[in-house]
Amino acid sequence: MLVKKYEAKDMQQAMDDIIKELGSEAVILNSRKIRKRGLTNLFAKPFVEVMVAYEPRKQRENPRKAPAALREAAREAYSPYSSETNPAEPEYMPQPIAPFSILPTGTPAAKTEPLCALGLDNGAVLAQTKAHSLKSNGGAAPAEVHKIHDIDSRIDSLDHVINEFMTKFTHIKRDITYDFSPEVEKLVIAMCENQVREELALSLAKEAEEILKTREDAEAYEVMHNLILDNLGTPAPIATKKYKQKIILLLGPTGVGKTTTLVKLASTFVINHKKRVGIINTDTYRIAAHEQLRTYADILDIPLGIAYRMEEVATSLGEMSSRDLVFIDTAGKRPGDPQHREDIRQIISGTHPEEIFLCVAAPTCFSSIQEVVDTYSFIGDYKLILTKLDETRYHGMALNTVHYAKKPLAYVTAGQNVPDDLETANCEALAGQILEH
């Protein structure tokens, strides 16, 4: 099976390109609208991306050839001024028959049986149609004409078949051949539907195929599920140490819910684990962040330190020396900001955190995740927190992020409730959700 991806300004153009290049045997697997990145394209019209599957053929038939021939035959046969009659005094009136169901221009037609397979060719269609059109002495219509009606109904049914495939796939890279077993192919489709990158999904599928070839007792779903679990890794939540303070640093771009996540973590350890917790806020750019932390610090009855300079961070840490856990909140900046990178370096060197967490929002596109992960690549060791999982039904981004960052997933958040909407990452559940249709 060959799979190709087309991009066009609209669906009509995409369909025309597909029909022109692949013919009637191409099957649409999925289509979606995409907007190019960049400020200049903010208000530009999105273009259409269409993914199709097809089997290669040495010779392709014109997808409109047979229907066009039938239309011409019917037009000639039913003309009241046929060459076989007197144009001035037509001997008959055309008898109505069901019109041929012609697919709209640009709509790919699935494979149909040629007329010869039904016992007809273009000449026979013309002859039988004319015979049926001329009035006779009560004779019945030839049986072959009914076969034309059968062709009509078959063509009509093709639209329904094609539409069933429209929701099957996301996008597979163009001009690459993939030949998987039906069971594995269904799992690839499910992963792509859940926004797993196609390269990663296909890599896992190839690995699963190799395992299935050597393990007759293995099932495709179980193999793929375990491969995803291997990639997600073992959850790595915060582990406290008795009589020893642990400093925890939270990082992440603006808008990922970093401050809310910090509050959830602090509340969890105060309420559920009965730990003595302190919070230091270095995000002095946002008044809202300070007010949010102040409100929860008062509710939880824990100390809150505000640090505008590194010296104040050290001072706050000294005041919280009796605390089991100290959470440090940081400002969110655009990915790649050199000043932000330098600020983080100073905080790390001045506080020596035992654990660092990078917050990434689940609805973020993969290219943006790459930017975020690359921005913090100078940090040798950190863990991931996937936030806002409730804001998307596509959980494949969790697998994309862990695989690209090569860092363990610790927590996920799904909602604004503190601390209820934070939990240790359940990789078993995530793997199952990624394989759901």
Domains assigned to the chain: 1-177 (no CATH), 246-426 (3.40.50.300)
Query: What does the alpha-carbon distance between residue 188 and residue 182 come to, in Å, rounded to a whole number?
Result: 10
Q: HSE, CB side, 13 Å, CA atoms: give it for residue 114.
A: 8
Give the full edge-to-edge strand order of the sheet including 176-177: 27-34, 47-54, 2-8, 176-177
- In terms of average pLDDT, the best of 27-31, 69-73, 136-140, 370-374 is 370-374
Measured in whole angstroms, the distance separating CA 336 from the mean position of its chain's CA atoms is 26
pLDDT attached to residue 408: 92
Q: pLDDT by residue (tens digit) across 291-348? A: 878 888 889 899 999 888 888 888 999 999 999 999 999 887 777 778 888 889 999 9
- What sign does the CA torsion over 167, 173, 177, 181 have? negative
Q: How far is CA 101 from CA 2, 116, 296, 352, 428, in A?
A: 28, 19, 67, 73, 49
pLDDT attached to residue 140: 47
Q: Which positions ≥6 away from 136 have C-beta within 8 Å?
A: none
pLDDT: is 160 or 34 the higher one?
34
Question: Band of the pLDDT at 68, cuts 50, 70, 90?
Answer: low
Task: Identify residue 212 by its one-letter amino acid code.
Answer: L
pLDDT attached to residue 231: 93
pLDDT attached to residue 387: 93
Query: What does the alpha-carbon distance between residue 379 and residue 275 come to, in Å, rounded to a whole number?
Result: 28
For residue 275, is pLDDT > 50?
yes
Query: What does the alpha-carbon distance between residue 413 and residue 386 come to, in Å, rounded to a whole number?
Result: 6
Backbone angles phi, psi at 370, to 5 degrees: -60, -45
pLDDT attached to residue 93: 42
For residue 74, is pLDDT > 80?
no
Contact of 69 with 54, CB cutoff 8 Å: no
For residue 51, is pLDDT > 50?
yes
Residue 103 in tokens: 């697919």
pLDDT: is 193 or 104 the higher one?
193
Average pLDDT over residues 119-143: 47
Q: How many CB atoms lie within 10 A of CB 67?
A: 19
Contact of 26 with 53, CB cutoff 8 Å: yes
For residue 77, is pLDDT > 50?
no
pLDDT attached to residue 134: 44
For residue 70, is pLDDT > 70?
no
Residue 203 in tokens: 């890599």
pLDDT attached to residue 36: 66
Q: What is the mean pLDDT of the chain?
A: 76
> Among candidates 90, 97, 108, 111, which has minimal Cα distance to 11?
108
pLDDT attached to residue 173: 42
Range in 188-202, 285-299, 300-314, 384-398 the model is least confident about: 285-299
